[in-house]
Amino acid sequence: MRILISTWSLQVGGGEVLAMNLASELARRGHELFVFNQRAELIDHDLVKRLLPPQVTVLSMQDRPRRSFWAYKVNAVQRRLGLAATFYEKQQQAYLAECLRRYQIDLVSSHATYSDRLCASVTTAAGIPLYITEHGEYTQFLLEGRRDFESTLKAARQIITVSDYCRNNLQQVFPSLPPVHTIYNGVVTNASHTRAGMRQHMGLPADAFVVGMVARGRADKGWQQAIDAFRMLRQQPQHRPLRLVLVGGSDYLKNLQQQYAGEADIIFTGRVPNPDFYVAGFDVGLLPTYFPAEALPLVIIEYMAFGVPTVATRVGGVPELLTSFETAGQLIELDLTLGQPRVEDLHAAVQRYYLDTQLYEKHSQNARRVGARLGMVTCANHYEQVFNQHKIQHA
């Protein structure tokens, strides 16, 4: 099949990385893949080079630089006149329609709300099926009280959600949507990354108990709570050295790094291209998030792929990962008053793994088994089955 995968951007982000990994895996299976970057200027060329093989064609308005330049100019004029600045989007849609015809695309798989909206009218006019994947953005809209996107969802042949949490939210509010079903995200990890290699690279003691966290660098992922819980943990008698490794980049994290610069056992890596390298050296992975639309965090699947138990908050789709298959971690509740996790609860959960070797080993083994079931191959299998239904219907 000739499949076009449409994204908001080609930068680091759960939906974007999933879209690129899916394109790569489907191309490996012999399908002809195109990735349309709706925001042409938002592209991490190193990331694209690492995730997408040469046979996947990347498309965007950068392919038409003059058209893009003048479209932005007209948009600016529209704004100055107090009009809706829609000219650039219309040019995007025209170029997308051109690409659908030129490359004889069989179906479009869209992975962001912005992309969904732009693709909906174009695919409908072209008679090409649109498959929308909800990565949590629509859930966030619902939490904000928005209901203005129903028509976009109804333009899809099918809607794929990354968790039952997202699926239930959509179907409760919009009972007459096209078929909606869940396909859990998959991840691609490098099997050559090892615990010993990561620790040697970072100069960590081989026997250290390493607590780690990987997430976007925003406060509601729970970075401060992770630090506070770790600082409580190290106050007790230590039978193994303790380290906290925080993987991510943002101005917020830079401020935290400056604040804790004098504590050598709290290590900030900054933004890195290969977070799974660091995950391989963790003993425990943290995600004390209080972001309400936490659909299905890819990082927890990465933790599990390396047999790393997780301590996370009972938010969004997180419980589906940690308890629906096998118990691969511990869930803590949000404080109903604060809307955030209690540091004492986070500390207690990490401490259990530090002190209870039997519990740790059981959850580590469970995590590895669950992680093996949630790889990119399995995820692509499910997408391919959905897409093949279209192929069979039009054979």
Give per-residue pLDDT as tens, 288-300. Answer: 999 988 999 999 9
Burial class (CB within 10 angstroms; exposed 0-12, middle 13-18, buried 19+) of 172: exposed
d(CA 7, CA 39): 8
Query: What is the mean pLDDT for each group of 10 consecutive residues in the chain (395 residues)?
Result: 94 87 96 93 88 94 76 71 73 92 97 95 96 96 95 97 96 96 91 94 96 95 98 90 96 97 95 91 98 91 96 96 91 93 97 96 96 92 90 55
**Among 117, 148, 149, 114, residue whose Cα is nearest residue 130:** 117
**What's the pLDDT score for residue 83?**
65
Question: Mind giving me the DSSP string for 123-179?
Answer: HHHHT--EEEEE-SHHHHHHHTT--TTHHHHHTSSEEEESSHHHHHHHHHH-TTPSP
**Among 184, 183, 134, 187, residue whose Cα is nearest residue 18:** 187
**What's the pLDDT score for residue 390?**
63
**What's the pLDDT score for residue 130?**
98
Specify the pTM. Answer: 0.90
**What's the pLDDT score for residue 278?**
97
Which residue's structure tokens are 């051109």?
Answer: 98
CB proximity list for 207: less than 8 A, separation 6 or greater: 240, 241
**In this structure, are residues 214 and 278 in contact, taking their beta carbons and an 8 Å threshold?**
yes
**What's the pLDDT score for residue 346?**
98
**What's the pLDDT score for residue 13?**
78
d(CA 167, CA 152): 16
Strand (E) or helix (H) holding 286: strand 284-287
Token readout for 320 is 């589906």
d(CA 291, CA 306): 25
Burial class (CB within 10 angstroms; exposed 0-12, middle 13-18, buried 19+) of 190: exposed
- Give all domains of the chain, ordered by start, each with its CATH number: 2-187+376-393 (3.40.50.2000), 195-373 (3.40.50.2000)
